[in-house]
């Protein structure tokens, strides 16, 4: 006797050619995907090159829970991020699955939690204070540019552990070029044969230069006499498998390189964009800003964190996460075939009136009053794949925001009307969130 197998079925979606769908998705996702959501509802299918990928978008809380609590051996997140392999490398915690992912996560997690996380606060505060003190009241502040510069400095010093100005000056330009990921760069990641041609050749040459500098830093750090006393992320990762740690295998240079580049790409412009949107929203909402300034003066980090979280909700920097099905699975009432990419939509979940009453309003109190339900706030993903650096990002954003609000009032720039655009792999303010500062 044989057991009947339920037939698979994809949700509805547009029937236009795959090439056209791919072009719309790559160039106009902020318009195209919401338009498909309005037309087809909460669950719909898009198709994209290469290999005619089937992307099934979901956004309801109960459907997202099905994905985040599903068997990680069936719902592969690493394969969903495959496009990033060219820059992040094969060992990246974002690109591996199953036991390999569990090992990587276990080794990385201690560097981003508890006492380790608290140990970074002093240097983050020092760097934030130094930068914010240099701002000029009365002049427009291009928030995205300033936040990009500051968060990059924090990553290089707190994560990479590079504090020597000569080394920093060598790293800054190549790191900036590494994180500058446009549509053409993404195209070369999908079709690697393009990388030997201009303009892609320049990006790959820069990546090789970045790798040279990073491997040199790793090699020198391994030999550092003060390694045991250092508390930057790289040094902490070098402690794994060393000394009395007999439980773990040490990380290889290649593994360290891939995880550090992952932390750079996942934590640089994402945090910078979130802070830029935060300043934009505070300029537009003076009542919220007054309460936030009071919180900064009183050291109320809980409310400041709520402000950053609400900005991340209203303006999701990464607007989707992905899981590739390794076998047929039921999601949102559909029996989806193996190979399907399931896409929990951060944007649609955050904009849902079911999840967030009056979703267009900027109300940080949502995150103070405990009214936010699980699987509805997703800037760091969810489940066993939730971003390891979530705590670091929120700590960093909260400290920087506090330093700003203790010194300045933020006002709208009357000459700048802001809207969202996709730059690199994040959603950023198109006009860079220009605001005007007034000294308090």
Annotated binding site for heme: 387
Determine the Cα–Cα distance for residues 253 and 222; give it in Å rounded to an integer. 10
Residue appearing with tokens 């995907």 = 33
Residue 110 CA: distances (Å) to CA of 161, 346, 391: 17, 27, 12
Determine the Cα–Cα distance for residues 59 and 200; give it in Å rounded to an integer. 35
Residue appearing with tokens 């009947």 = 4
Let me know: does 176 contact 145? Beta carbons within 8 Å.
no
Q: Ramachandran region of residue 161, left (φ > 0), alpha (ψ -120 to 50) or beta?
A: left
Determine the Cα–Cα distance for residues 60 and 354; give it in Å rounded to an integer. 9
Q: Are strands 323-325 and 140-142 parallel, antiparallel or unpaired?
A: unpaired
Question: Mapping DSSP to helix (H, G, I), strand (E, B) and coil, where does residue 322 land?
Answer: coil
Q: Are strands 334-336 and 420-423 parallel, antiparallel or unpaired?
A: unpaired
Residue (of 390, 80, 397) closest to 266 by Cα position: 390
Secondary structure percentages of the chain, helix, strand, coil, to 5: 55, 10, 35
Structure tokens at 59: 């956004």
Annotation: binding site: 387
């Amino acid at each position: 006797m044989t057991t009947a197998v339920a037939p698979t079925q994809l949700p509805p979606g547009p029937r236009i050619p795959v090439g056209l769908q791919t072009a719309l998705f790559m160039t106009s996702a902020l318009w195209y995907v919401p338009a498909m959501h309005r037309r087809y509802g909460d669950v719909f299918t898009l198709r994209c090159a290469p290999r005619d990928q089937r992307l099934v978008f979901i956004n309801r809380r109960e459907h997202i829970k099905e994905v985040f609590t599903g068997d990680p051996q069936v719902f592969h997140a690493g394969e969903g991020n495959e496009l990033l392999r060219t820059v992040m490398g094969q060992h990246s915690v974002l690109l591996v699955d199953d036991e390999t992912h569990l090992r990587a996560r276990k080794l990385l997690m201690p560097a981003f939690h508890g006492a380790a996380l608290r140990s970074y606060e002093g240097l983050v505060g020092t760097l934030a204070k130094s930068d914010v003190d240099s701002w000029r009241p009365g002049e427009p502040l291009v928030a995205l540019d300033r936040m990009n510069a500051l968060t990059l400095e924090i990553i290089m010093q707190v994560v990479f552990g590079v504090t020597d100005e000569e080394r920093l000056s060598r790293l800054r330009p190549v790191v900036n070029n590494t994180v500058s990921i446009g549509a053409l760069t993404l195209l070369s990641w999908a079709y690697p044969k393009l990388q030997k041609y201009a303009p892609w050749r320049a990006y790959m040459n820069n990546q090789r230069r970045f790798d040279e500098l990073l491997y040199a830093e790793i090699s020198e750090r391994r030999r550092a006499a003060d390694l045991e006393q250092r508390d930057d992320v790289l040094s902490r990762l070098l402690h794994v498998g060393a000394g009395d740690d007999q439980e773990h295998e040490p990380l290889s240079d290649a593994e360290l390189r891939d995880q550090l580049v992952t932390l750079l790409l996942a934590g640089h412009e994402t945090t910078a964009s979130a802070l830029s949107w935060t300043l934009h929203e505070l300029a537009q909402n003076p009542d919220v800003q007054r309460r936030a300034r009071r919180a900064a003066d009183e050291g109320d980090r809980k409310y400041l964190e709520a402000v950053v979280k609400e900005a991340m909700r209203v303006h999701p920097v990464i607007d989707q996460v992905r899981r590739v099905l390794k076998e047929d699975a039921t999601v949102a009432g559909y029996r989806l075939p193996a190979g399907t990419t399931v896409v929990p939509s951060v944007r649609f979940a955050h904009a849902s009136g079911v999840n967030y009453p009056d979703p267009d309003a900027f109300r940080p109190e949502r995150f103070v009053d405990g009214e936010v339900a699980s699987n509805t706030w997703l800037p760091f993903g969810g489940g066993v794949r939730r971003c390891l650096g979530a705590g670091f990002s929120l700590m960093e954003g909260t400290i920087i925001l506090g330093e700003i609000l203790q010194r300045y009032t933020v006002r709208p720039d009357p000459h700048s009307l802001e809207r969202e655009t996709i730059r690199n792999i994040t959603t950023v303010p198109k006009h860079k969130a220009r605001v005007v500062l007034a000294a308090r």
